[in-house]
Amino acid sequence: MKRFEHTNATSVQEAVKLLSAQNARALAGGTDLLGIMKDELLPTDRVVNLKTIPGLDYIKEESGELRIGALARLADIAASALVGQKAPALAQAALLVASPQLRTMGTLGGNLAQKVRCWYYRDPDRADCYKRNGSVCYAVFGLSDLHAIFDGAACFAVQPSDTAIALSALGASIVVAGPDGQRVVGVDSFFIGPDVDYMRETALKRDELIVEVRIPASAVGQKSVFLKAAPRKSIDFARGSVAVLVIGSPVQSVRISLGAVAPTPKRATEAETFLTGKKLQADVIGQAATLSTSGAKPLASNGYKVQLTQGLVRQALTRLAG
């Protein structure tokens, strides 16, 4: 590993200042950053430790919203009675991330800001792909098992974060701190596709950091669920996932967010429209599941994700109906 400077930020403002240096990276739990540094995927001359900023790991209810500090550990979110009752999809997603050890170290902010897991992107011995400022995507004519079936554009790597999918269904907002102060970004705008910038996954600028995640009052206390499909019961990134938030029966409003199928959380808008005004009965659920993958365009080896996603949507809606 190359030499780097390690600095402890004691406030958000100080962290923002420290992050403005060239090749400065934010360090929370470090469960993604350390691996990236060891593989030299992103040049890192300075590491800005955020764990020394006090008071960013809260989980609280305020003004009807659920507000979670970016440094809250995934294990604490998973174990939180408040989150479990008021935003179950998020608690379920946090519990399914990685493994117990990683959930103890990993933070919500870090989970949302992590880099993709595409095996070509992550291979340090390979000539740079687009996301590494290179000139090719290997997945289009290579092994695409883990890649996108929707919305690929030059890059086909998927958004790997489980909590991102849950927050997308919950209609959350992300509070970002930067040199000009704080801004609140809706989850639909926070994650950006490769058509916007294939070298980034989020709207975060180089010298910005996530400070808080907010779940709106309209979602707090409503029924929601998160399901994840992966080869092993622990540790794996999702091969497919789904988060659903449903309000009312007959359905007044529903948000279905699909994971591991697109470079950003993918909303199944046709299925959502279909379900609105209906009761969650088996035949309705079945049709919604089929609609959830309309427009999918698989690559060579990820066609299985179409059926997998439909199955997850069916199971998720069935759980919410019960």
Partner 1 sequence: MPEMNEPGTPQDVLEPQSGAQATDSLSRRRLVVGGLAAVGAAAVAAGTLGRAATAVAAQQPLSDRVVVADPTLCVGCLACEVNCSAWHASVGRSALPRIRILSTPDVKLRAAVAAYLPARAGNTPATCRQCATPWCLPNCPTTGLRIDPRTGNRYISEDDCIACGKCEVDCPVEWQGTLVHKAQVISSKRVVYDPAENVYNKCDLCIGREGGPICVERCPVNLAIRAGYIKSDNLCLDLKRSTEEQWKRLV
What does the binding site for partner 1 look like in residue numbers (CB under 8 A)? 22, 130, 133, 135-137, 140-141, 151-156, 194-195, 197-200, 295-300, 303
Shortest Cβ 270–partner 1 spacing (Å):
12
Q: Which residues pair with 191 in a beta bridge?
A: 202
Distances (CA, A) of 159 to 127, 130, 201, 255, 308: 22, 16, 7, 18, 17
Query: Given the complex with partner 1, which of 63 and 135 has the nearer CB atom?
Result: 135
The whole-angstrom separation of Cα 319 and Cα 272 is 16
The whole-angstrom separation of Cα 167 and Cα 188 is 10
User: Residue 3: which residues within 8 A CB-CB, separation 6 or more?
Assistant: none
The whole-angstrom separation of Cα 31 and Cα 112 is 12
Shortest Cβ 155–partner 1 spacing (Å):
8
Shortest Cβ 297–partner 1 spacing (Å):
5
Query: Given the complex with partner 1, which of 190 and 226 has the nearer CB atom?
Result: 190
Shortest Cβ 136–partner 1 spacing (Å):
6
The whole-angstrom separation of Cα 78 and Cα 84 is 7
Query: Given the complex with partner 1, which of 199 and 235 has the nearer CB atom?
Result: 199
Would you say 41 and 20 are in contact if contact means Cβ atoms under 8 Å apart?
no
205-217 core/surface letters (b: 16 or more CB in 10 A; e: else) = eebbbbbbbbbee
Token digits of residue 245: 């938030």
- The 8-class DSSP code of residue 153 comes to B
The whole-angstrom separation of Cα 76 and Cα 87 is 14
For residue 76, give the 3-state DSSP assignment. helix
Shortest Cβ 144–partner 1 spacing (Å):
9
Query: Given the complex with partner 1, which of 217 and 300 has the nearer CB atom?
Result: 300
Shortest Cβ 190–partner 1 spacing (Å):
18
Shortest Cβ 151–partner 1 spacing (Å):
8
User: What size, in residues, is the chain?
Assistant: 322
Query: Given the complex with partner 1, which of 58 and 141 has the nearer CB atom?
Result: 141
Query: Given the complex with partner 1, which of 153 and 175 has the nearer CB atom?
Result: 153
Query: Given the complex with partner 1, which of 149 and 246 has the nearer CB atom?
Result: 149
Residue 318 buriedness (CB in 10 A; 0-12 / 13-18 / 19+):
middle
For residue 161, give the 3-state DSSP assignment. coil
Shortest Cβ 36–partner 1 spacing (Å):
18
Shortest Cβ 292–partner 1 spacing (Å):
16
Neighbours of 322 (CB within 10 A): 6
Segment holding 321, helix H or strand E:
helix 304-321
Query: Given the complex with partner 1, which of 140 and 321 has the nearer CB atom?
Result: 140
Residue 135 buriedness (CB in 10 A; 0-12 / 13-18 / 19+):
exposed
Query: Given the complex with partner 1, which of 277 and 295 has the nearer CB atom?
Result: 295
